[in-house]
Structure 1
Amino acid sequence: MLPLRAIVRRLSRTAKARILFIGFVLVLAALSGHPLGASMSGALDKVLFDLSTRWFSHPGTQQVAVVLIDGKTLREYGTDGLTARTGELLERLDRAASVTLDYALASDTHTGELAAVMARNGNVVLPVSGNALEQSADALPTLLRAQAAGRGQRHFTVGHYGAVNGFVPYLPPAQGATPNIVLEAIRVAGAQHARPQAHQRAYALSVAATRKDAVLVMMSDPAHVPQYSFSDVIDGRVPADAFASKMVFVGDAVGEDAGFRISSLHMDAVSRAQLDALVADAVVSGNMASELPVYMAIPIYLAIALGMVLICLLVRGGWMHAAAYAWGVLMLLLPMLLLGSLHRWLGLGLLPLVCVLIYAHFAWERLRRTQNLLQREIGKLRAIRATVGVAAAGGAAPPPMQARRDPLEQIRHAMREIRAWQSTFVSMINQLPYPVFVVDNGQVSVWNAKAAEMMAAPGEDGMSLPEVQRLVATHCSGEESASEEVTLGGREHMLLYVPYASADSSLHPGVAEGRASFLACLIDIAGIKEGVTHDRQALRHIAHDLRSPLSTILSLIEERAEGHRRDAPPDRAFLDDLRRQADYSLRVAKDFLQLSRAEQLRRDAFAPVALLDMAAEAIDQLWPAAENKSIELIGPECGLDDTLLRGNADMLIRALVNVIDNALKYSPPHTTITLRIVDDGDSGMLLHIVDQGIGIAEEDLAHLFDPFFQVAGKPEVDMGVGLGLPFVKTVIERHGGSITVASQPGQGTDVRIALPRA
């Protein structure tokens, strides 16, 4: 068995930090019962206690009633005659089980009469005046003290929100062990009640060490206790049966004894008499409670904290958050359930803070591990990228991973980069005009969109996966690249075989490191031959059309070399002539190649594309040029639900860019160019490109799509070489569509492109 020091040495830094953190939060959880800890969530505890009281307390006993010296009484009798009127009140309450006079009684001429009435009644309970516990300091008249059936103190405990939450049943022996006036009223009445001593606990009155033995009470709604006006009782407006066998509490409804809050759920206040009546009703009905002892509370605190720790350690993924929230709800419900079922209260103390700390720590730790994992993987991807040449977007190098940046922004940047790479590579492979297959462990595992299209095609143009697998098994072997002509689907193909590095064992645990995989590509030879022939013809056209500018360039150079012309242009003009001729030659070559590619488009290589998306992409490419010229590009406006067609997205976007670019060239500033897609019958769509430019003469409309034809325009407009619109027409016609132009000089141009739906 390893010694403790060796075990600690083997632990990682993260494990040590985790153990220290768990130990720290468990210590905090154990301190939840301390007065300082209890004060941290005292407001929450009070709300939970009052909610539990509302939902789980026993119903009232209907054995208490309240008589209030209210504003009505004071208006009718004033304050001087209360002693005499108290005697009349006691005569009316002769059938009550006990009468508690919960207000000050001074000595006056009617004290003797009141003492006689109290003697006849025999059930009157009086308070100990103020905090006086000695006979000599008691302000109550001696005659009244002698006739009282019981005397009691009125000490209560006040919690958060300034609300009364309990009462002190008995003062300490050093203070005379005086019982609470509520208990005296119950004793005099002879009412059956639960023993408050069973719930008596030493409660801290503050974060200091001062404690007092008290009982928590679950007081009911004051509206459930019958309340009567002092004057109504004396005047006989309340029947005597209303007080039969009840404990009656008499007190002021106004003044300093009328502002006791009893709940955190509302702002209502009650008088001293009402408070005593509610406490008496709670004692008789058994609505008393006590806090769990420390030896029982601490294990519960530790169990709740450990439960949150285990949830954060063992539950995976998003379920951890749901489980942590659910555990927090159970933590709040536990004190309420204990109070409702066992009348035992468990204050939460530091427990909410502890659970939040645990959840936040492990959520942060999980986030940090995820971030570290992403950074490691991103580092591997960048190491792979370092083996090839990559130009950064906008000419700026990507920020290094070691730079001090916001981690979230760093990961977001890296994920955008990875997504761009993935999109680029997938798009690049899918744009290849040849079927490409990835062969792993001798089995075809992945193929591109062109291969999937050919395998789905019926007839001679199609092929099946078993056929491809047979070709691969027959012709692809060895560790060197090779090519071989094969017959597939009745057509001649060139099978290219290219081995590449083995799969990453971290991504494919079942594959042994170093085992070769390869790419297989099937190329239709007949199609390539046709393309080569067409390219040769295009090159001949290019050579023919470049002859004129090249001859001009040579003539300029020879004249400059001979120097026989006295009026030879200066170097600046000479170089400008050369640049114009060279630039024209390059544009001719570029437009010829573009037109050549358009003429090679094959419908069997088309894929579903959306005309709306391509029009939007064309606008996105040209909006900087339009903004520089103060021209607004509007649209694409579309009222169709479906704009899908089969085609080559790249060529169609180039064609639309050419048309919009022409519109920009021949449109003055502060005008608009609008793109609008409308329905063109059951099988077609019509794209309008409408500008507010200089327009086209009627005699020029018939020659717009002729190679090298150029419409006369503004002298400052770059005229081009006259191959843009022939390219557009070729692309549209290869897609089974048509293009027409409607225009009048000075009124703009409407280019209409009709394309069939998919």
Structure 2
Amino acid sequence: MTRYWLPFKNTPLSLGLPLLALLLLLQFTSLPQRIDFWLYDTLVTRYPTPVADNVAIIAIDEASLSELGRWPWPRSAHAGLVRQLDRAGTRTIVFDILFPEASEADSDLANAMAQHGRVVLPMHFSNADDPEPGTSRLPTWHLTQTAAALGHAHVELDADGLARGVDLVKARTGTLWPSLGRAAAEVNGTALPGAFGEAKPMFVRVPLAGRAGTLPVYSYADILRGRYPTDALRDKVVFVGATAAGFGDIMPTPFSSLATPMSGVEFHANSYSALSQNTLIRLLPGAITLLLAGALIALLSLVLPRLRPGHSMMLCLLLTLGLIALNMTLLLYVRLWLPITLALMIPLIACPLSSAQRLALTNHFLNRQMDELGQGPRTSLPAPERRHPPLILEHLKTLLQPEGWWLSRNGEVLDAHGLTAADQPPFPEAGRWIHLNNQSWIQLTRYDAIYSLGLSLPNDLSREVIQLYLRRLTLNPESGNPVDNAPREAISSRIDHVRRAINQMRSMHQFISRSFERMPDGIIVTDELGVIQFANGHIEEWFGEPMPSLSGMPLARLLEGHDPREIPPWHETVSETLTMNQSRTVDLRIRGMDFLIHFAPFALPDGDQNGIIANISNISELREQQRQHREAIDFISHDVRSPLVSQLALIEQMKRHPGEIDTPQLEQLGRLARRSYQLAEEFVQLARAEQLTETRFYECDFLAIVENARDSVSEQALEKGIHLVLQGSEELWLRGNAELLERAVINLLTNAVQYSPPGAFVTAQVFRAGHQACLTVTDEGSGIAEEELPYLFDRYRRQKSSELSGSRGAGLGLSFVHVVVEKHRGEIRVASRLGEGSAFTIKLPVANPLS
């Protein structure tokens, strides 16, 4: 047998090492960072931060450039803007305009700034391409001295070119510079929360309030000319900067990318708005991500090899969802950003990797099993030639019931009846049947032994058919099997083994799948000796035989043991199916149930083997329906026909003496007509109840149903002097058919009134018990004998006490009640004692059990 070797088994080490290698490899790619950016952008754009109510933007827009002229404007214009904002009551002014060169109007701007007292100016860090890289470019000395604070206007773009954050405090040339947003907050007197108030370098992400134009914007020219609403800018923190496209001070953001970029002044205004509301997002150290990924590797490496594949997938899915939930919670509620892509990829990679390892191990196992399967026997019915001759004789005796038989081994008699050694003919060839009149002989070879087997068959018309069947029966094994010794490559050998195994199993699998899958009947499959090789679960259940004992049992013996019969005997039916290759259908009765067994011969598609498929159908319900049909015919022919005959006779009498028609005759005719109508009505109502389905159900009040039934019976009770009492006032809603339920209650009340003496009480009590609506009808009648209670709800069954008392009925009323209650998935019970009365209780499920 070929041996297979795998470098690792499905162990923590075999899973942990590849995961660790993939983690290290991902560290050198940009994929995790790009996915982290996408997750961040998705969350901040889906849940934007609200705008602070004290922020506004003074925009140097296209309209202002058209009105005030080309840029740069004289600083006297900026001084005029500061004075206008001062008169408007603006609390803090933040310029996002650089003033690095001196100008004649610097003193005018400085005076306006000094008069306001809360003006923040920007400073700029030189780039690497500048002549003096690393230096800071401040506003002119005069403006620097007058400004309330300076703040850097730098916005760092991420690796994908989008602006998501800003250095809240930036260190340059030994000095800590706040951002414009932080400087504005300090000048405005805004309390800086927590870590944001610490004077140390800190990069934060700015959760934007939306795309460009979300914050309130006023045109520079409108403010300068005084064209703005009164109190619109009072106590506001205004950011002054360029928004016109020609300035180039724009940047893509998660909200818009390059489609509608955001100006720098609006980004800084968003920064201040988020800082004032404590919604800036801090970044957690990257070491936490690595630790989280390492912990997941350790966890999955230890747990996944021990779990089933379905549980492994569920665990990886839960970990993935948990990481995403953790990321969302930290960002939206704690305002911390944890890059989780590295950790997120661990369960996503671990699940298929673990499955691949399981698949490799499974393939290793299946290859070994395929080798064993290729060397094993074919998947087919057991060949008769492999059986021991004494067992073959036993099966032939059971199947064919011969008059005599003979079996010897190397001349030694093993079993004989009616045949002697003198009857044995010479055998020209082993394994071939020889037929002499009514005798059939064959010589079999098993190992070093030679067996002689003979049968004495009945000398009738079946003899030739049986001998023809024996000629087809192969009982001697063929010598040798061709062996293919051609060398093949390993993969070709594997494929060849699989092909042979599939070819061996395909025929039987197709046969089983097409014939036996989901069959409602019992199925028995025999071989060509009539021995059971397969039986489905119905056979085990109906015959009460355990499955191990069924396999290998002759079919004729099974049937004879459970339904013995003489004409025709079971062995004859089975043998004729095999010998004559014809189907048979026979009645069968097992343990009080009626069945129909159909014997059908078959032949396997990949050989000359044949056998019987016995299909056993349970027809007990059909027989019960036939019985009910006969009862219905008897009912119609007797109970319905009798009053009609009486009516016809009475009418004929009236016709003969038309002048002598009196009131008693008319009353008798009316009673007979009413009885005919009542019988027909009960029969029709029972038929309607039996055809009732839930498609005809609707919401109905059980108390109202009982009240209507009481009203229908009240006149009958009044005529007899019966006190009809209804107890219960609670509405009990259920799903059902109110018409049939009302008829069922009427039947119970009518019976109670009919069998109660005058002056008695009949009580109908409606109540709720748990999740059930209940009705108890109690009478004070003669009661029901205990021996009649089990048959009380059988159709066409009348009580002896009813017949003796003259109360005639069809025996369908209580049967109708029972059918209606069963159709509503309820139950009915009766308690009765002779001489004391009866109590019928109906329980039906309510419509809403939780109410």
**Residues 700-752 of structure 1: CA distance to partner in whole angstroms, max 9, x if unpaired?**
xxxxxxxxxxxxxxxxxxxxxxxxxxxxxxxxxxxxxxxxxxxxxxxxxxxxx
The aligned counterpart of 2:61 is 70
Which amino acid in the other structure matches residue 525 of structure 2?
Answer: N
Q: Distance in 2 between matches of 1:406 and 1:198?
A: 75
1:421 matches 2:508:
yes
The aligned counterpart of 1:404 is 491
Pick the aligned partner of 2:34 from 28, 43, 56.
43
Which amino acid in the other structure matches residue 338 of structure 1?
Answer: L
Pick the aligned partner of 2:365 from 369, 373, 383.
373
Which amino acid in the other structure matches residue 150 of structure 2?
Answer: R
The aligned counterpart of 1:233 is 223
Pick the aligned partner of 1:251 from 241, 244, 248.
241
The aligned counterpart of 2:13 is 19
- Contact persistence 1:169–1:179 (CA under 8 A): yes
The aligned counterpart of 2:644 is none
Matches within 5 A, 1:165-180: 165-172=164-171, 174-180=173-179
Q: Distance in 2 between matches of 1:168 and 1:364?
A: 46
The aligned counterpart of 1:556 is none
- Contact persistence 1:308–1:359 (CA under 8 A): no
Q: Distance in 1 between matches of 2:546 and 2:106?
A: 120
**Structure 1: tracts of 5 or more residues without a match:** 1-10, 202-211, 439-445, 457-463, 477-482, 495-521, 533-595, 607-644, 654-758
Which amino acid in the other structure matches residue 418 of structure 1?
Answer: M
The aligned counterpart of 2:148 is 149
The aligned counterpart of 2:631 is none
1:217 matches 2:217:
no
Pick the aligned partner of 1:524 from 571, 586, 589.
571
Q: Distance in 2 between matches of 1:471 and 1:41?
A: 64
Matches within 5 A, 1:265-414: 267-293=259-285, 296-310=288-302, 312-385=304-377, 403-404=490-491
How far off its partner does 1:12 sit?
8.9
How far off its partner does 1:129 sit?
4.0
Q: Distance in 1 between matches of 2:319 and 2:278?
A: 31
- Contact persistence 1:312–1:324 (CA under 8 A): no
**CA separation of 1:313/1:104 partners in 2, compared to 1, >3 Å: closer, same or farther?**
same
**CA separation of 1:529/1:62 partners in 2, compared to 1, >3 Å: closer, same or farther?**
closer
Which amino acid in the other structure matches residue 505 of structure 2?
Answer: I
SS at match of 2:205: strand
Q: Distance in 2 between matches of 1:48 and 1:356?
A: 16
**Residues 436-463 of structure 1: CA distance to partner in whole angstroms, max 9, x if unpaired?**
346xxxxxxx5379x959x97xxxxxxx
How far off its partner does 1:523 sit?
6.8
**Residues 266-318 of structure 1: CA distance to partner in whole angstroms, max 9, x if unpaired?**
54321111011011111111112323345644432223333444553233133
Q: Distance in 1 between matches of 2:135 and 2:158?
A: 33
**CA separation of 1:435/1:320 partners in 2, compared to 1, >3 Å: closer, same or farther?**
farther
Return the TM-score normalized by structure 2.
Answer: 0.47
SS at match of 1:49: helix
Which amino acid in the other structure matches residue 584 of structure 2?
Answer: R
- Contact persistence 1:165–1:216 (CA under 8 A): yes
- Contact persistence 1:97–1:188 (CA under 8 A): no
- Contact persistence 2:532–2:551 (CA under 8 A): no
The aligned counterpart of 1:749 is none
How far off its partner does 1:365 sit?
1.0
- Contact persistence 1:262–1:269 (CA under 8 A): yes
RMSD (Å) for aligned C-alpha atoms: 5.2
Over the matched positions of the two proteins, sequence identity in percent amounts to 20
- Contact persistence 1:47–1:265 (CA under 8 A): no
**Residues 585-630 of structure 1: CA distance to partner in whole angstroms, max 9, x if unpaired?**
xxxxxxxxxxx75xx4434499xxxxxxxxxxxxxxxxxxxxxxxx
**CA separation of 1:48/1:220 partners in 2, compared to 1, >3 Å: closer, same or farther?**
same
- Contact persistence 1:487–1:493 (CA under 8 A): no
SS at match of 1:168: strand
Q: Distance in 2 between matches of 1:362 and 1:102?
A: 56
- Contact persistence 1:150–1:188 (CA under 8 A): yes
Pick the aligned partner of 1:602 from 575, 579, 584.
584
Which amino acid in the other structure matches residue 64 of structure 1?
Answer: V
Q: Distance in 1 between matches of 2:10 and 2:536?
A: 50
- Contact persistence 1:100–1:250 (CA under 8 A): yes
How far off its partner does 1:489 sit?
3.8
Q: Distance in 1 between matches of 2:164 and 2:120?
A: 23
- Contact persistence 1:83–1:114 (CA under 8 A): yes
How far off its partner does 1:19 sit?
0.9
Q: Distance in 1 between matches of 2:145 and 2:499?
A: 86
Q: Distance in 2 between matches of 1:265 and 1:605?
A: 82
**CA separation of 1:130/1:349 partners in 2, compared to 1, >3 Å: closer, same or farther?**
same
Q: Distance in 2 between matches of 1:491 and 1:271?
A: 102
Which amino acid in the other structure matches residue 333 of structure 1?
Answer: A
- Contact persistence 1:168–1:180 (CA under 8 A): yes
SS at match of 2:317: helix
Which amino acid in the other structure matches residue 268 of structure 1?
Answer: T
**Structure 2: tracts of 5 or more residues without a match:** 384-476, 517-523, 589-596, 606-851
The aligned counterpart of 1:125 is 120
Q: Distance in 2 between matches of 1:408 and 1:240?
A: 89
The aligned counterpart of 2:188 is 189
Q: Distance in 2 between matches of 1:385 and 1:77?
A: 101
Q: Distance in 2 between matches of 1:277 and 1:321?
A: 46
Q: Distance in 1 between matches of 2:199 and 2:296?
A: 26
**CA separation of 1:431/1:246 partners in 2, compared to 1, >3 Å: closer, same or farther?**
same
Q: Distance in 1 between matches of 2:577 and 2:21?
A: 83
SS at match of 2:169: coil
**Residues 495-528 of structure 1: CA distance to partner in whole angstroms, max 9, x if unpaired?**
xxxxxxxxxxxxxxxxxxxxxxxxxxx9714764
- Contact persistence 1:199–1:215 (CA under 8 A): no
Q: Distance in 1 between matches of 2:528 and 2:289?
A: 74
- Contact persistence 1:156–1:164 (CA under 8 A): yes
- Contact persistence 2:64–2:220 (CA under 8 A): yes
Which amino acid in the other structure matches residue 68 of structure 2?
Answer: Y
The aligned counterpart of 1:436 is 531
- Contact persistence 2:122–2:138 (CA under 8 A): no
**CA separation of 1:419/1:197 partners in 2, compared to 1, >3 Å: closer, same or farther?**
same
How far off its partner does 1:28 sit?
5.9
**CA separation of 1:296/1:324 partners in 2, compared to 1, >3 Å: closer, same or farther?**
closer
- Contact persistence 1:200–1:290 (CA under 8 A): no
- Contact persistence 1:171–1:177 (CA under 8 A): yes
SS at match of 1:239: coil
The aligned counterpart of 1:8 is none
Return the TM-score normalized by structure 1.
Answer: 0.52
Which amino acid in the other structure matches residue 312 of structure 2?
Answer: M
**CA separation of 1:82/1:524 partners in 2, compared to 1, >3 Å: closer, same or farther?**
farther
The aligned counterpart of 1:586 is none
Which amino acid in the other structure matches residue 40 of structure 2?
Answer: F
**Residues 528-584 of structure 1: CA distance to partner in whole angstroms, max 9, x if unpaired?**
47987xxxxxxxxxxxxxxxxxxxxxxxxxxxxxxxxxxxxxxxxxxxxxxxxxxxx
Q: Distance in 2 between matches of 1:53 and 1:195?
A: 22
Q: Distance in 2 between matches of 1:64 and 1:409?
A: 79
Q: Distance in 1 between matches of 2:256 and 2:264?
A: 20
How far off its partner does 1:357 sit?
3.0
**CA separation of 1:526/1:358 partners in 2, compared to 1, >3 Å: closer, same or farther?**
closer
